[in-house]
Structure 1
Amino acid sequence: MSKTTRNTAEGLAATGQDRPELRKALQDIVDSGIIGITLRVHDERGEWVGSAGVSKLGEAAKPPVDGHVRIGSNTKTFTATLVLQLVAEGRIGLDTPVADYLPEFGLDRRITVRMLLQHTSGVFNFTGEYYPDGTVVPGIPATTAGKEWVDNRFATYRPEELVRLALSKPARFEPGADWSYSNTNYVLARLLIERVAGRPVAEEMRRLILEPLGLSGTMAPTTQTEIAEPHAHAYYRYEEAGEVRTVDVTSQNPSWISSGGDMVSTTEDLRTFISALVSGKLLPAHLLAEMCATRPTPAPGMGYGLGVFVQDTGEGGTVITHNGGAAGHAALMYSTPDGGTTMTAAVNYADDADLSAALAFQQATQRLVDEVFVGGSTDADRPSV
């Protein structure tokens, strides 16, 4: 299919067949409060690409269907894949203590590489910990909500700095005793990669993933504040002196999240990546099986492997997935275990201290999963994921 066909606003399939149910889902998502969304679906009917909403507030243009987006925690899947590729090369052991590779941090020797990738280390989350009783233990200043985040969004944080802050706080639980999502795990994984490879993580990512797959629209920017054109705009909303202000935060220094979520990609590159991953083009079969082996998480019907969620569709099927948000940008990445059906999306929205877009984002995600992987929306009581 030509690039011109892919960029049609209506989003026609490769066969020329329209998908009105997908166009309606996108419009419903925009009507729920999301500024803009682009969707890319590959299934037995071919490829379908479409967008809804706007790329920039105050303008009419839709988000570019081939646009770059900050993919947030989808970065974790790339990072986990990179670690497992180094395992395949015999340079990292999944059940080796992380302290053997990174002795300078004084890590608990019970914490293994596997625990980092599966979020079972118990290490404090440097972006802040939220406990079931409502207690919040704040993390780095850059993640403080409101105007302070906007004012600090160009600050540079070294990965070692983020890890040391996390290790200065009490662990959430004993290593291996529970599951809790912590960005610190993946910053440690980044430092592990760099220690073993002897080069920056961005270079190792290019060597093992980006160049072999031809992912020309994907990068690990580290501290680079701009993203390449074309792209939709990201926003942050806060209140000051009784007035609500909305700021364009498309430009920001992603070092505040590091390898917990700093990468930039496109819906096409994400589709290529997740399809290649689940079909065994990046990892040997035994390590792909390790990646997709889950343990229960607090979210019903979901489990976390090594850098991926394995989600029950509720209709007897499963999808391999990771989603992520990064202050006004977000990305979705889904595939059936055989890679036969994939769905990727880029979202731009207005973030805020109350995470008021979170529910709309969750509902949007579930709506699209239902349409693409289940065959239509389920009833409204179905839980969001």
Structure 2
Amino acid sequence: MSPTRRQFAQGMTAGLAGLVLPATVSSSASAVPKGPNPNSGRGLDERAIQDALDAVVQWPAVGAVCSVVGPAGRFDTASGTRGLHANAPARANSVARIASVTKGMVATVAMQEVERGTLSLDSTLGEVLPGLWPEHEDEVTLSMLLNHTSGMPDAIWVIMRGQSLFDLDLDELAEVVSRHYGQRELVELAKQADWWFEPGADYGYSNTGYVVVEMMVEAVTGRRMPELIRDRVFRPAGMHRTRLEHGTLVRGAEMQDAAVRPHEAKALETIDQSIFASAAAVNTTAADVTRFYQALMRGELVSQQTVDLMVTPVGPAVQAGYGYGLFLVPDPSPEYADEVLVGHDGAGFGSVSLALCSRDGERAFAFTYIGRPYWQAGWDQVFAKELDLMRTAFVVNAAGAPASRDRLVRGNAAAGRRAVAEIGARGARLV
């Protein structure tokens, strides 16, 4: 439901001063990193981060949450309002839908099963779920599903009748995303499309591939993914406000998705996240996302050897800089110019997320905004500001400065109200 991750990674790379993207990451978190210049005088500049976040939350974006953590401390903050028609400000600990940032978390559970020996990266669809997709069950492996090289088509595009988001009727969109979808129903819907390419021959981003990963993990464990990921990822990482939801219930959610065009806007009041299942159905705070990436990169959820596998693109996925549930982009900080950040983006129906972390787990950034643009120029406009926020977060997040106090900062409600007023004014002029 967004530009392909190949396009996203290329856009990120182009936006980060043309830095070269390495094919692999340093093989061990214990390796001595290229540290910041102790004489640089920079630290976790909260004002710079807040200013960059406030710049994102101008029409069409409505509200945003952000978490930045590093050697100089933690800064959790927000800007704008919690919804299109909300007066309450977004809060640093507001829960939002993070869409495909979910994939790294689900891939972690799958890799835990690889470590346990119940699955291997070479496990085929037919070995674990015989009969689910007979034509390709002997060719498609867990590895291919995790790094989007299986060629499996995506049910989302079938549901949306192959239309670009920019062409969708927003009322129709709201209706489609409010109904429930079962796992096997999503697979059957995906079967209505042609298989994209021979398994292992190319890269093609498929949400349905992660629905099948979920089904494979559930088959070998006998447990549902929402409970597995809670017990094995969320709780160990200290993610106490995080849930994987397969329905309309969003416990603790405060950031309401909204779709925005120049002359219309639609609050998506009911989204049944079964449409994505384990591909993109986590709801959480920005701070919990940074906790996840730090725990993962530090080897607290899987071994460092497994993390190395997850952050190393192989085969056709190298062209997209995509490992297992994680992509790689150049680190924009001059002190780390030869290194990469590991993470994922998320593009939901009315929200957009980005999360990145250094391989040693020392520096992490997570961000979600609501008020997704449904036209190209609007998308490009906000994406540029999103990149600037990410650059700011990592460039100012250097050691060599006194530790910043950990604190929560309330959002800028005025910025969100300006966004809503701008939407209303444009609509009124149309009338």
Contact 2:149 2:316 survives alignment (8 Å): no
Report how many residues are paired.
Answer: 347
Give the superposed CA RMSD: 2.8
Measured in 2, the distance between the counterparts of 1:144 and 1:209 equals: 36
More strand by share: 1
Contact 1:274 1:335 survives alignment (8 Å): yes
Once the two structures are TM-superposed, the CA of residue 227 in structure 1 deviates from its matched residue by 2.1
Aligned match of 1:305: 323
Name which of 331, 342, 352 aligns with 1:320. Answer: 342
Once the two structures are TM-superposed, the CA of residue 164 in structure 1 deviates from its matched residue by 1.7
Name which of 152, 167, 177 aligns with 1:123. Answer: 152
Aligned match of 1:24: 51
Aligned match of 2:184: 160
Measured in 1, the distance between the counterparts of 2:139 and 2:131 equals: 16
Contact 1:292 1:310 survives alignment (8 Å): yes
When residues 91 and 71 of structure 1 are mapped into structure 2, their CA distance, relative to the original with a 3 A threshold, is same
Once the two structures are TM-superposed, the CA of residue 299 in structure 1 deviates from its matched residue by 10
When residues 118 and 37 of structure 1 are mapped into structure 2, their CA distance, relative to the original with a 3 A threshold, is same
How is 1:98-177 mapped onto 2 (pairs within 5 angstroms)?
98-105=125-132, 106-108=134-136, 109-128=138-157, 138=162, 145-177=169-201
Once the two structures are TM-superposed, the CA of residue 249 in structure 1 deviates from its matched residue by 1.2
Q: Work out whether 1:288 is the aligned partner of 2:307.
A: yes
Moved over 6 A (4+): 296-300
Q: Work out whether 1:279 is the aligned partner of 2:298.
A: yes
Once the two structures are TM-superposed, the CA of residue 104 in structure 1 deviates from its matched residue by 1.8
Structure 2 residue runs of 5 or longer lacking an equivalent are: 1-42, 398-431
Structure 1 residue runs of 5 or longer lacking an equivalent are: 1-15, 130-135, 377-385
Measured in 1, the distance between the counterparts of 2:271 and 2:302 equals: 33
Once the two structures are TM-superposed, the CA of residue 318 in structure 1 deviates from its matched residue by 0.7
Amino acid at match of 1:231: E
Aligned match of 1:381: none
Measured in 2, the distance between the counterparts of 1:103 and 1:299 equals: 29
Q: Work out whether 1:47 is the aligned partner of 2:74.
A: yes
Q: Work out whether 1:348 is the aligned partner of 2:370.
A: yes
Deviates further, 162-171 or 116-125? 162-171
How is 1:1-385 mapped onto 2 (pairs within 5 angstroms)?
19-31=46-58, 33-105=60-132, 106-108=134-136, 109-128=138-157, 138=162, 145-223=169-247, 225-229=248-252, 231-237=254-260, 245-295=264-314, 303-313=321-331, 315-352=337-374, 354=375, 357-375=378-396
Amino acid at match of 2:65: T
Aligned match of 1:13: none
Cα deviation digits, residues 1-29 of structure 1 (max 9, x gap): xxxxxxxxxxxxxxx98522212211221
When residues 84 and 357 of structure 1 are mapped into structure 2, their CA distance, relative to the original with a 3 A threshold, is farther
Amino acid at match of 1:360: Q
Aligned match of 1:380: none
Contact 1:308 1:321 survives alignment (8 Å): yes
Cα deviation digits, residues 260-304 of structure 1 (max 9, x gap): 21111111111111100011111112211110111487998x500
Aligned-partner SS, 1:149: helix
When residues 88 and 182 of structure 1 are mapped into structure 2, their CA distance, relative to the original with a 3 A threshold, is same
Once the two structures are TM-superposed, the CA of residue 375 in structure 1 deviates from its matched residue by 4.8
Aligned-partner SS, 1:330: strand
Deviates further, 316-325 or 112-121? 316-325
Once the two structures are TM-superposed, the CA of residue 59 in structure 1 deviates from its matched residue by 4.6
- The higher relative CO (CA closer than 8 Å, separation ≥ 6) is in 2
Amino acid at match of 1:310: L
Measured in 2, the distance between the counterparts of 1:296 and 1:89 equals: 25
Q: Give the TM-score normalised by structure 2.
A: 0.74
Cα deviation digits, residues 176-224 of structure 1 (max 9, x gap): 111111111101001111111112111111221122223221111111x
Q: Percent identity?
A: 25
Once the two structures are TM-superposed, the CA of residue 245 in structure 1 deviates from its matched residue by 4.6
Amino acid at match of 2:394: F
Measured in 1, the distance between the counterparts of 2:271 and 2:316 equals: 32
Once the two structures are TM-superposed, the CA of residue 34 in structure 1 deviates from its matched residue by 1.4
Contact 1:184 1:260 survives alignment (8 Å): yes
When residues 273 and 194 of structure 1 are mapped into structure 2, their CA distance, relative to the original with a 3 A threshold, is same
Aligned-partner SS, 1:138: coil
Aligned-partner SS, 2:235: helix
When residues 358 and 196 of structure 1 are mapped into structure 2, their CA distance, relative to the original with a 3 A threshold, is farther
Aligned-partner SS, 2:387: helix
Contact 1:76 1:186 survives alignment (8 Å): yes
Contact 2:350 2:371 survives alignment (8 Å): yes
Measured in 2, the distance between the counterparts of 1:79 and 1:59 equals: 32
Once the two structures are TM-superposed, the CA of residue 103 in structure 1 deviates from its matched residue by 0.8
More helix by share: 2
Deviates further, 28-37 or 85-94? 28-37
Contact 1:226 1:250 survives alignment (8 Å): no
When residues 58 and 321 of structure 1 are mapped into structure 2, their CA distance, relative to the original with a 3 A threshold, is same
Aligned-partner SS, 1:275: helix
Once the two structures are TM-superposed, the CA of residue 30 in structure 1 deviates from its matched residue by 1.6
Amino acid at match of 1:275: Q
Cα deviation digits, residues 294-346 of structure 1 (max 9, x gap): 1487998x500000001123532210111102221232211110011111112
Measured in 2, the distance between the counterparts of 1:97 and 1:57 equals: 45
